[in-house]
Amino acid sequence: MRLARMTAGAGSDPARARLARPGTAVLLAALAVELVDELLDGTKGAAMPLIRHDLGLNYVQVGLLTAVPLIVGSALELPMGVLSGSGARRRRFILGGGLAFIAAVLAAGLARSFDVLVIALTVFFPASGAFVSLTQAALMDAAPDRQAQHMARWTLAGSTGAVAGPLLAAAVLIAGGTWRLAFVIVAAAAAVAWVAVAVTNRGRRGQPSQPGIGTAAEPGAALASSAPEDADNDNGWPGWRPAFALVRRSGALRWLTLLEVSDLLLDVLTAFLAVYLVAVAHASPTVAALGVAVRLGAGLAGDMILIRLLEHWDGRRLLRASVPLALGLFPALLLVPGIGPKLGVLAALTLATAPWYPVLSAELYGSLPGHSGLAVSLTSAASLVGGLGPLVVGLLAQRLGLGLAMASLCVAPIAMLAVPRARSR
């Protein structure tokens, strides 16, 4: 069954729903932004041993390169969603964030010391929030009746970037370049994405549009704003006290909590996977790298399959169907003997959890129709807490061993049992 939810702004009129869909150029520009963001993440992860050697970093500094940008950057990004509003103001935030994004990547690639690198990565975090998160919010506003479908495409673009990042780093090194050149190439790709967004988001000055509606002939109106291009709009910001009341009664906190907890079996599992395969499963570093490749490849395949499934099945129904699979497959991953079987279970688990991030994100936006900026700020606030997940796993591993620490990730599929049933048409 096609996703049933129709949020306010699109209504239930099929003709109006068709108008809500952004044009192809707009959609591709938005997806390019997410691809470049994950391209940097994949490149940085692959290049980290070289970065550590080049700058003479110790393990504490390597940890700080992740922790400081996450904590400080999330705090800086926190008010961005509500301050950016929509219309011309949001467009300025997106384009300004894109320029800061490009500059931060270049600065990181040119860094000659730990201090410069950590500052560059800290600046990158809120820049990514403006450029990437607000582009995502605008895409959700552009097609309220297809938020899950577009989030699936968004996730596929990110998975493509994550897989391409290590390949880019490897290609540059094979060609005789350095990790710095790889960062410069990512910055160039980000510049191309910025130009694409700038061109497709121009819209028609002074042309009013209905909230959340744009046409393929006017892609700028669809993605950049739900208001006239020359207007500064607060995107329906109701004020702090009404906003808190709105969040409480909308069910947004449920989706936000599930989104953060689900990450334990998504990004956190990926972060510890190679270490787990070496330290607990006694695989070689080469086989551990193969395990990460299996994880990323299965994620890419799962995202592609999900796009097709969401054209016929309700997102919540897919979420609920995935939970018992994850509850069975994750313990099997930890308990099954042998590297080959583990990698097979890992691929199946990755496919099973493919709906989690895109559908939960779409539900969060759908619970706050007309307030996508508020959803962005809520996600930033939750990231401050969710960012402690890897730290908690690390502390448990230090005290109890990595095997038991990984077992604690079972809290994710257990929490996903709280996903409500799909609403009837």
Q: Count H helices, E strands: the chain? A: 21, 2
User: Is there a domain that residue 244 lies in?
Assistant: no
Torsion of CA 281, 286, 291, 297, to 10 degrees: 180
- Which tokens sit at 307? 């796009």
Which pLDDT band holds residue 277 (cuts at 50, 70, 90)?
confident
325: pLDDT strictly greater than 90: yes
User: Is there a domain that residue 330 lies in?
Assistant: yes
How many C-beta neighbours within 10 Å does residue 128 have?
A: 25
Query: In which domain, by residue range, is 420 found?
Result: 251-369+387-425
Are the beta carbons of 143 and 20 closer than 8 angstroms?
yes
Mean pLDDT confidence for 335-342? 92
Least confident of 6-20, 68-82, 236-250: 6-20
Give, for 344, the enclosing helix (H) or strand (E): helix 339-352
- Residue 99 CA to residue 11 CA, distance in Å, equals 36
Q: Of 202, 236, 270, which marks where a domain is finished?
A: 236
If DSSP states are collapsed to H, E and C, what string results for 214-245? CECCEHHHHHCCCCCCCCEECCCCCCHHHHHH
* pLDDT score of 230: 42
205: pLDDT strictly greater than 50: no
Give, for 286, the enclosing helix (H) or strand (E): helix 285-309
Nearest C-alpha neighbor of 315 from the set 278, 362, 282? 362
Judge if 261 and 353 occupy the same domain: yes
Judge if 7 and 106 occupy the same domain: yes
Question: What is the sign of the dihedral through the CA atoms of 161, 45, 303 and 100?
Answer: negative
* pLDDT score of 167: 86
* pLDDT score of 250: 74
Angle between helical axes of 240-250 and 252-262 (0-180°, round to 10): 70
Query: What percentage of the chain exceeds 70 in pLDDT?
Result: 82
**Rounded-to-5 percentages of helix, strand, coil across the chain:** 75, 0, 20
- In this predicted model, what pLDDT tens digit does every residue of 339-368 receive, in sequence order? 999 999 999 999 999 999 999 988 888 888
- Which tokens sit at 386? 């969710």
User: Is there a domain that residue 246 lies in?
Assistant: no
* pLDDT score of 423: 61
User: Is there a domain that residue 375 lies in?
Assistant: no
Q: Of 173, 203, 236, which marks where a domain is finished?
A: 236
147: pLDDT strictly greater than 70: yes
* pLDDT score of 374: 78
User: Is there a domain that residue 134 lies in?
Assistant: yes
Judge if 13 and 113 occupy the same domain: yes
First to last CA, the chain: 9
- Residue 94 CA to residue 423 CA, distance in Å, equals 34
Name which residue leads in pLDDT, 144 or 40: 40
User: Is there a domain that residue 241 lies in?
Assistant: no
Are the beta carbons of 54 and 198 closer than 8 angstroms?
no
Mean pLDDT confidence for 264-291? 83
107: pLDDT strictly greater than 70: yes
- Which tokens sit at 411? 């809290």
Judge if 348 and 210 occupy the same domain: no
Name which residue leads in pLDDT, 53 or 83: 53
Residue type, 73: G
* pLDDT score of 97: 92
CATH number of residue 61's parent domain: 1.20.1250.20
- In this predicted model, what pLDDT tens digit does every residue of 172-199 receive, in sequence order? 888 889 899 999 999 999 999 999 999 9
Are the beta carbons of 387 and 70 closer than 8 angstroms?
yes
Which pLDDT band holds residue 305 (cuts at 50, 70, 90)?
very high
Mean pLDDT confidence for 8-12? 36
* pLDDT score of 22: 57
Which pLDDT band holds residue 208 (cuts at 50, 70, 90)?
very low
Judge if 292 and 422 occupy the same domain: yes
User: Is there a domain that residue 242 lies in?
Assistant: no
* pLDDT score of 227: 41
Q: Tell me what the pLDDT averaged over the chain comes to.
A: 79
Judge if 203 and 331 occupy the same domain: no
- Residue 194 CA to residue 197 CA, distance in Å, equals 5
Cβ contacts of 266 within 8 Å, gap of 6 or more: 353, 356, 357
Mean pLDDT confidence for 46-55? 82
User: Is there a domain that residue 110 lies in?
Assistant: yes
Question: What total of structural domains would you count in the chain?
Answer: 2
Judge if 351 and 402 occupy the same domain: yes
Judge if 195 and 296 occupy the same domain: no
β partners of residue 86:
233
Q: Give the CA distances from residue 344 to residues 295, 328, 339, 349, 371, in Å, rounded to whole numbers and listed in that order.
A: 10, 14, 9, 9, 41
Nearest C-alpha neighbor of 164 from the set 146, 186, 145? 186
Least confident of 120-134, 353-367, 411-425: 411-425
